[in-house]
Amino acid sequence: MLLARLTQANGAPGQEGEVRDLIRAEIEPYVDVLKMDTLGNLIAIKNPDAPGPRVMLAAHMDEVALMIVGVDSSGYLKFRPIGGVDPRVLVAKTVTVGAKKIPGVIGSKPIHLQRAEEREKAFAIQEMVIDIGAKSKEDAEKLVKMGEIAYFTTEYEEIGQNKVKAKALDDRVGCALAIRLLKEEVSFPLIAAFTVQEEVGLRGAGVAAYQAEPDLALILEGTTASDVPGTDKHKHATAVGQGPAITVMDRTVIPHPQLVQELFALAEEKGIKVQVRRNTAGGTDAGQIQLSREGVKVAVIAVPCRYIHSPVSVMSKDDFEGAYELVKSYLARLEEREGSR
């Protein structure tokens, strides 16, 4: 399955090559232009010279991960997060480190050795290490170089009632949607931008949009689902199983109101269950794409994912299919408009 292969691939910010290669092989037969820019964005275009609106689908390839920044005298690896990772979810998780995919475990002082006051608070990043079984600093440095990346090892698996657990659903779910949609037949220029370094400041999206010059862009994302214990229902940003979420505002963007309302109306017309992304914290590539050149109409369509930015997330396959059907219907509606002119 495409989503399984995408989530199993590794791609930290700035090191998205494995993911990019997988996507390139998947979409090459379906596009007329396929290029990689200096930052590493992969840009694919169908019908580049056709009349009609230039429509961009955008999804970022990178995932949150850990960078190796030191080795202590006993051979334990010191690390720092790349992207927003909550330190509280890291202890005892398994990882692979570097190009050699050296297996390791994130470790900390065991509870038996902790003082009473230490048991009352979570470990900070500085109090954790990655144990690769090395005997010494020299032994570890033969296997791992500074700046290499540690990735979580979570396997893709279908669970419960049509749910999926995997790492990197943010945003391999968006990449999978964009790939499927590129295989649809359209007559206007359709651009897919698979962007880099979203997790460290939306760095690739503005560069991609500047090149592609879209008239409008649909950003396809995995977003926070807060239907978890301890969160009041009225505070839920989104909920898994309630359909794809359409953003009305976040920290980086106010999407184009007319485009947003058109998506809601289309969902109602087609019987596609959707929800509003109600939390305004965080941001997406829409924030940079909207500001490109003379400005771009943007909307964000996201698949809710529980436990986002952690070693494992959970999503609904029904929400994924709903997002696909909504964007597919929107592209078909554009096709109808262009045909009537």
At 295-327, the pLDDT tens digits run 999 999 999 999 999 999 999 999 999 999 999
At 122, is the pLDDT very low, low, confident or very high (cuts 50, 70, 90)? low
Contact 305, 271 (CB under 8 A): no
At 127, is the pLDDT very low, low, confident or very high (cuts 50, 70, 90)? confident
At 328, is the pLDDT very low, low, confident or very high (cuts 50, 70, 90)? very high
Contact 247, 257 (CB under 8 A): no
Active site residues per annotation: 198
**What integer pLDDT is reported at residue 203 of this predicted model?**
95
Q: Is the pLDDT score of 3 beyond 60?
A: yes
Q: Which stretch, 84-93, 162-171, 276-285, has highest mean pLDDT?
A: 162-171
Q: Average pLDDT, stretch 161-184? A: 96
Q: Is the pLDDT score of 280 beyond 80?
A: no
Pick the closest to residue 212 from 340, 56, 332, 108 (CA basis).
56
**Of the candidate ranges 52-66, 95-109, 152-166, the one whose mean pLDDT is the lowest:** 95-109
Q: Got the DSSP string for 301-324?
A: EEEEEET-SSS-EEEEHHHHHHHH
**What integer pLDDT is reported at residue 232 of this predicted model?**
57
At 293, is the pLDDT very low, low, confident or very high (cuts 50, 70, 90)? very high
| Angle 303-9-88 from CA coordinates, rounded to 5° | 65
At 226, is the pLDDT very low, low, confident or very high (cuts 50, 70, 90)? confident
Q: Is the pLDDT score of 120 beyond 80?
A: no
Q: Which domains does the chain have, with CATH numbers?
A: 2-63+167-339 (3.40.630.10), 66-152 (2.40.30.40)
Q: Is the pLDDT score of 199 beyond 90?
A: yes
**What integer pLDDT is reported at residue 281 of this predicted model?**
72
Three-class SS state of 174: helix
Three-class SS state of 222: strand
Q: Is the pLDDT score of 279 beyond 90?
A: no
